[in-house]
Amino acid sequence: MTDATTNLLDFDLEALSAYCERLGEKRFRAVQLFRWIHQRGARDFDQMSDLAKSLRAKLAGCATIRPLPVISEHVSADGTVKWLFDVGAGNAVESVFIPEDDRGTLCVSSQAGCAVGCRFCSTGHQGFSRNLSTGEILAQLWHAEHSLRARLKTPAGERVITNVVMMGMGEPLQNYGALVPALRVMLDDHGYGLSRRRVTVSTSGVVPFMERLREDLPVALAVSLHAPDDALRDPLVPLNRKYPLAELLAACKGYLERAPRDFITFEYCMLDGVNDGDEQARALLALVGPKGPAGRVPCKFNLIPFNPFPASGLKRSSSERVQAFAKILIEGGIVTTVRKTRGDDIDAACGQLAGEVQDRTRAAERMTRAPVQVIRPVRPA
Ligand code: SAH
Ligand code: SF4
């Protein structure tokens, strides 16, 4: 059954103001309404005591604040929380909350499935079903923030979620039209009030939309690199065939002119015997150094231990290998971190946000027919 009412979670403040105007209301009413929704987590117009009764009645007739149905919620021993949300037609997406001493990060999904089809990613293996709407992207944050506040008994006016990373299921820059209004609500002082440094879009490298994001709303950017050259990146991140490394690095450099931080974060998933050799680490230094295709690219590296899943046919690099790889980057002058795996007991780690997706692209079938090979010779034992 579809709900014919307008979902107010689909609107940034500008769109909500226009909506209020269409209802014959003054635009500033939208600010009150917006604050009720995003800052106080209200769902019911009757709660909104400072709005005129006539407006509340009008809204109740044509609009809703529509959360996503929660299929499951898992809380890990380390405080990580993972939600599985129903997005209809047999599709589900996941969000993960990661508490740390000085912050609370929510990892948000942007699509049901993903069309990029990276070899090491279980979302990619599921194929693509559809884009999430702005309201569905924001419903993840809305639910996480307000359910956690209630559970943790957070004092009024305090936020639980201080950072958002668009690192759940999907390629956010292939859902640009829905992403940007959602980001605006995250940044809006009347919404979640997060600074541009605390909202990160992670991309596999959709170059034209990196350029648009730079103009429209330059939040922090993470780029999933995973390989130092096109020959290795092509099979791992198939989008590389369209936007090869030289173009990607030039776009990173261009992005930095407007970015809220003065570096790009490169994510690098460590795959045993595939992209984790000393020679690849040295090649990365050359790639982002002054003699690389785009000249020096100020960056940090975040090495992600691969989270294995059977269909990938790939293995996680040993921690000694990850350390040796990191050492080469660090000695080459690049700040490098190794991502901690959190929420292991509830499968909340990167690339395991599998959800359940109706595969409309038959990605799984294609990938099974062409099993993944170790692309580079494995290091001598
Ligand atoms: N589509 C975007 C954002 C979602 S993926 C992107 O690719 O950047 C978020 C991060 O998780 C990416 O860096 C991705 O490469 C990484 N990732 C995907 N599958 C993984 C796996 N099985 N193990 C470790 N990291 C993985
Ligand atoms: Fe899509 Fe990102 Fe997974 Fe690649 S890593 S398939 S871009 S979600």
Q: How far apart are the first and last CA of the chain?
A: 58
For the residues 293-316, what does the mean pLDDT come to? 94
Q: At 366, is the pLDDT very low, low, confident or very high (cuts 50, 70, 90)?
A: low
Residue 46 phi/psi, 5-degree rounding, is -65, -25
For the residues 106-127, what does the mean pLDDT come to? 94
For the residues 5-28, what does the mean pLDDT come to? 95
Q: At 45, is the pLDDT very low, low, confident or very high (cuts 50, 70, 90)?
A: very high
Looking at the predicted structure, is the pLDDT value of residue 126 above 50? yes
Pocket test of ligand 2: the residue of 121, 174, 225, 366 to mutate, having most ligand atoms within 8 Å of its CB, is 121
**Amino acid identity, position 97:** F
What's the pLDDT tens digit per position in 139-153?
Answer: 999 999 999 999 999
Q: How close is the Cα of 167 to the center of ligand 1, in Å?
A: 7
CB 191 within 8 A of CB 13: yes
Pocket test of ligand 1: the residue of 267, 270, 303, 322 to mutate, having most ligand atoms within 8 Å of its CB, is 267
How far is 151 from 146, CA to CA, in rounded Å? 9
Q: How close is the Cα of 337 to the center of ligand 1, in Å?
A: 16
pTM over 0.85: yes
Buried b vs exposed e over 97-133: b needs ≥16 C-beta within 10 Å?
bbbeeeebbbbbbbbbbbbbbbbbbbbbbbbbbbbbb
Closest by alpha carbon to 8, among 30, 28, 39, 40?
30
**Ordered structural domains, the chain, with CATH:** 6-64 (1.10.150.530), 70-369 (3.20.20.70)
How far is 10 from 135, CA to CA, in rounded Å? 4
Q: How close is the Cα of 172 to the center of ligand 2, in Å?
A: 9
Let me know if 94 is a catalytic residue. Answer: yes
Q: Residue 106 belongs to what H/E stretch?
A: strand 103-107
Place of tokens 């409309």: 360
83-92, 107-116, 332-341, 342-351, range with the lowest pLDDT: 342-351
Pocket test of ligand 2: the residue of 109, 123, 166, 223 to mutate, having most ligand atoms within 8 Å of its CB, is 123
Q: Which ligand is nearest to the CA of 239?
A: 2
Q: Which of 25, 94, 145, 267 is catalytic?
A: 94
Q: Quote the pLDDT of residue 358.
A: 67
Looking at the predicted structure, is the pLDDT value of residue 300 above 80? yes
Ligand 1: nearest atom to the Cα of 169: 4
Q: Which of 107, 252, 299, 350 is catalytic?
A: 350
Q: Which residues line ligand 2 (CB under 6 A)?
A: 114, 116-118, 121, 123-124, 170-171, 204, 224
169-178, 355-364, 370-379, range with the lowest pLDDT: 370-379
For the residues 186-192, what does the mean pLDDT come to? 98
Q: Quote the pLDDT of residue 375.
A: 47
How far is 349 from 323, CA to CA, in rounded Å? 20
Q: What percent of the chain has pLDDT over 70?
A: 90
Looking at the predicted structure, is the pLDDT value of residue 98 above 90? yes
Q: How many CB atoms lie within 10 A of CB 371?
A: 9
Looking at the predicted structure, is the pLDDT value of residue 82 above 90? yes
Q: Quote the pLDDT of residue 376.
A: 47
Looking at the predicted structure, is the pLDDT value of residue 273 above 80? yes
Task: Please state the three-class secondary structure of 281-323 as a single string.
Answer: HHHHHHHHCCCCCCCCCCEEEEEEECCCCHHHCCCECCHHHHH
Q: Residue 30 belongs to what H/E stretch?
A: helix 29-38
Looking at the predicted structure, is the pLDDT value of residue 372 above 50? no
Q: How close is the Cα of 245 to the center of ligand 2, in Å?
A: 17
Q: How close is the Cα of 208 to the center of ligand 1, in Å?
A: 20
Q: Residue 177 belongs to what H/E stretch?
A: helix 176-187
Q: At 371, is the pLDDT very low, low, confident or very high (cuts 50, 70, 90)?
A: very low
Ligand 1: nearest atom to the Cα of 222: 8
Instruction: Tell me, using a 6 A CB cutoff, whether residue 113 lines ligand 1.
Output: no
Q: Quote the pLDDT of residue 359.
A: 66
50-54, 298-302, 338-342, 357-361, range with the lowest pLDDT: 357-361
Residue 203 phi/psi, 5-degree rounding, is -135, 150
Residue 87 phi/psi, 5-degree rounding, is -110, 20
